[in-house]
């Protein structure tokens, strides 16, 4: 029997995916575990393997097209099997869903007026739904809950084990807070996208979220009705615009300045030939206009000829340019970058502190370290190590805002901003304070290679407590960065510049690097950030302390 293949959810923030490449074509045999496509998510390009066997009967989206999560992208079945009914109805359960929606509609309309609309974001909560863990999965059974209501949850915690039609798999929370609600008991089934749990601040009343679960169908119906009612208006607006254009075409086309000059000179615009696009009359057409009667009269030409030597005009050569541009679809990565940075900038009150660091000793130390180190250590590696040590001394900077509480992280995980073709990735050097410079250097280099190859996995970029962004290699003196939420601060590293400095009362050449600390004022105060920068400056100016 033919089965549909749907776009899977491959990251916690993914809402749609782009088919980067198909590895199978219609008519090919597919075995369970075969790579059938590469999917570009908002984080990376990942392999999509088949969970079933059969012949590839249908491919929906073309390479480069984006597809929403759970949308049908392919159909597998027996060779020659009729699959069109699956595409027309989505799947065999679609009629039942439609009947359910119709049955729920009256209740939805009644409750929509009584229940105020409250979003999970407004409550600071995260709603966890039954994920689509296989292409044929329509529901999952909660095999085991690993937490109970009231327990603290971390973003990487596996909160439950779910039995699908293929295997028993873990469900990750992708949220931090308190487990406020469990919707399905162990041993019970839940349909894909049904609410199974809610995580948020302790003591939050999640009843409004649960009450709204049944009202979504009514909202969709209202949206469709509103869409239909807008169509006649749009048509009327189009007809009005069309008639307006026709009226404009019946008049003489001229710029406002040309009309003003023509009026002052008493020139009839109907007698003037326009030189601009579409015959539009512009200023130079009015200035160069000579009435036909005057042009034919010898008496009229004589004064003009006599006045010619007295008037000096500059004639510019005519330059004809072409306006053109190119557009491309926004990648999934760029969409996520735009959303997350906007949320960070407009939610967290940023302020910035800048300090200058004398890098003479760091330059000398780096040369000595690279004489014996197994891998080449960069200045950025030295900065990462110094930041990690400084954060251990200033835990307030190694913190994050959690709504009703501030989290002070005792571990130090440094996110390292890396530019890639489609945007920016921030892989994490975990427990950086305990690693050697050579270890940090090797890890960052490996992340860089995997980032460019789009081979980073979600575990590589999750869990940072502080971020370092370095544009010094591009010659940038200093800059400011947007905080990588939920971190409480981010460090912007500029280039090492040779400038005159005063040492021992004399002006001598120096190597100065500027560091700018961006802080979330909700968790880091000005004095706290300044003290952290002073410690960081001391470590970089005396790098032997990094090895102590």
**Cβ contacts of residue 372 below 8 Å, gap of 6+?**
none
**Cβ contacts of residue 105 below 8 Å, gap of 6+?**
217, 218, 221
All structural domains of the chain, each given as residue ranges with its CATH number in brackets, are 3-88 (2.40.50.100), 120-205 (2.40.50.100), 334-546 (3.30.559.10)
DSSP letter for each residue of 283-331: HHHHHT---HHHHH-HHHHHHHHHHGGG---PPPPP----------PPP
Does the annotation count 350 as an active-site position?
A: no
Q: What is the dihedral of CA 522, 523, 525, 530, to 10 degrees?
A: -140
pLDDT tens for residues 484-494?
999 999 999 99
Between 102 and 427, residue with greater pLDDT? 427
Confidence of residue 131 (pLDDT cuts 50, 70, 90): confident
Picking from 15-24, 45-54, 495-504, which range would have the lowest pLDDT averaged per residue? Answer: 45-54
Query: Alpha-carbon distance 20 to 85, whole Å?
Result: 27
User: What is this structure's pTM?
Assistant: 0.50
List 503's β-bridge partners, or say none.
506
Query: 540 with 386: CB under 8 angstroms?
Result: yes
pLDDT tens for residues 239-284?
444 444 334 433 577 776 777 788 888 888 888 888 776 777 877 7
Task: Tell whether the model's pLDDT for residue 332 goes beyond 90.
Answer: no
**Cβ contacts of residue 440 below 8 Å, gap of 6+?**
381, 384, 385, 429, 432
Max CA-CA distance within the chain? 107
Average pLDDT over residues 136-162: 87
Measured CA to CA in angstroms, residue 528 lies from 178, 241, 408, 519 at distances of: 29, 60, 14, 10
* Omega cis (within 30) before 282: no
Query: Alpha-carbon distance 43 to 456, whole Å?
Result: 8
- Strand, coil or helix: what is 200? strand
Does the annotation count 23 as an active-site position?
A: no
- The pairing of strands 29-30 and 54-59 is antiparallel
Which residue in the list 28, 205, 271, 525 is annotated as catalytic?
Answer: 525
Query: Alpha-carbon distance 189 to 129, whole Å?
Result: 12
Which residue in the list 23, 411, 439, 521 is annotated as catalytic?
Answer: 521
Picking from 106-115, 202-211, 258-267, 499-508, which range would have the lowest pLDDT averaged per residue? Answer: 106-115
pLDDT tens for residues 442-463?
999 999 999 888 888 888 989 9
Determine the pLDDT at residue 116: 55
pLDDT tens for residues 26-56?
889 988 778 888 888 877 778 888 877 889 9
Q: Identify the residue whose tokens are 């045999």.
A: 29
Picking from 118-127, 303-312, 377-386, 456-465, which range would have the lowest pLDDT averaged per residue? Answer: 303-312
Query: Alpha-carbon distance 308 to 295, whole Å?
Result: 15
Pick the closest to residue 45 from 25, 18, 69 (CA basis).
Answer: 18
Strands (E), 308-457: 350-358, 399-401, 406-408, 414-416, 418-420, 423-425, 428-429
Task: Tell whether the model's pLDDT for residue 98 goes beyond 50.
Answer: no
Between 155 and 324, residue with greater pLDDT? 324
Task: Tell whether the model's pLDDT for residue 217 goes beyond 70.
Answer: no
């Amino acid at each position: 029997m033919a089965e549909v293949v749907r776009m899977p959810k491959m990251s916690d923030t993914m809402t749609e995916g782009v088919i980067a490449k198909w590895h199978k074509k219609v008519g090919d045999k597919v075995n369970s575990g075969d790579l059938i496509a590469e999917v570009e998510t908002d984080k990376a390009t990942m392999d999509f393997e088949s969970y079933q066997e059969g012949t590839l009967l249908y491919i929906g989206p073309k390479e480069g097209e984006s597809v929403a999560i759970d949308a049908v992208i392919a159909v597998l079945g027996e060779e020659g099997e009729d699959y069109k009914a699956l595409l027309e109805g989505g799947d065999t359960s679609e009629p039942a869903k439609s009947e359910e929606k119709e049955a729920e509609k009256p209740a939805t309309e009644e409750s929509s007026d009584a229940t105020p609309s409250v979003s999970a974001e407004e409550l600071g909560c995260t709603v966890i739904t039954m994920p689509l863990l296989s292409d044929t999965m329509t529901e999952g059974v909660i095999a085991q809950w690993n937490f109970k209501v009231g327990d603290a949850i971390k973003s990487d915690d596996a909160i439950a084990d779910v039995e699908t039609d293929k295997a028993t798999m873990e469900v990750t929370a992708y949220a931090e807070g308190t487990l406020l609600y469990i919707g399905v008991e162990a041993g019970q089934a839940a349909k894909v996208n049904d609410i199974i749990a809610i995580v948020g601040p302790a003591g939050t009343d999640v009843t409004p979220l649960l009450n709204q679960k049944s009202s979504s169908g009514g909202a969709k119906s209202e949206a469709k009705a509103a869409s239909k009612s807008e169509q006649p208006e749009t048509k009327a607006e189009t007809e009005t615009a069309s008639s307006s254009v026709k009226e404009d075409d019946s008049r003489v086309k001229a710029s406002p300045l040309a009309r003003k000059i023509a009026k002052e000179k008493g020139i009839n615009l109907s007698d003037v030939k326009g030189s601009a696009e579409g015959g539009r009359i512009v200023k130079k057409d009015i200035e160069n206009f000579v009435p036909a009667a005057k042009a034919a009269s010898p008496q009229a030409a004589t004064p003009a000829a006599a006045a010619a030597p007295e008037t000096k005009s500059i004639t510019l050569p005519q330059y004809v340019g072409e306006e053109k541009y190119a557009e491309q679809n926004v990648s999934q990565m760029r969409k996520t970058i735009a959303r997350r940075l906007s949320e960070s900038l407009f939610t967290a009150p940023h302020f910035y502190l800048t300090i200058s660091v004398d890098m003479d000793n760091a330059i000398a130390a780096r040369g000595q370290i690279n004489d014996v180190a197994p891998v080449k250590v960069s200045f950025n590696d030295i900065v990462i190590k110094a930041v990690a040590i400084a954060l251990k001394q200033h835990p307030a900077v190694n913190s994050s805002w959690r709504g009703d509480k501030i989290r002070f992280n005792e571990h130090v995980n440094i996110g390292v901003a890396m530019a890639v073709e489609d945007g920016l990735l921030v892989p994490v050097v975990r427990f950086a304070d305990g690693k050697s410079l050579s270890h940090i250097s090797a890890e960052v280099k490996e992340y860089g290679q995997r980032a460019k190859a789009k081979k980073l996995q979600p575990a590589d970029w999750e869990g940072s407590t502080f971020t370092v962004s370095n544009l010094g290699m591009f010659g940038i003196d200093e800059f400011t960065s947007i905080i990588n939420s939920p971190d409480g601060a981010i460090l912007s590293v500029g280039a090492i510049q040779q400038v005159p400095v005063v040492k021992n009362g004399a002006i001598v050449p120096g190597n100065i690097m500027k560091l700018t600390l961006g802080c979330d004022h909700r968790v880091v105060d000005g004095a706290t950030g300044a003290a952290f920068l002073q410690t960081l400056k001391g470590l970089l100016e005396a790098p032997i302390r990094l090895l102590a």
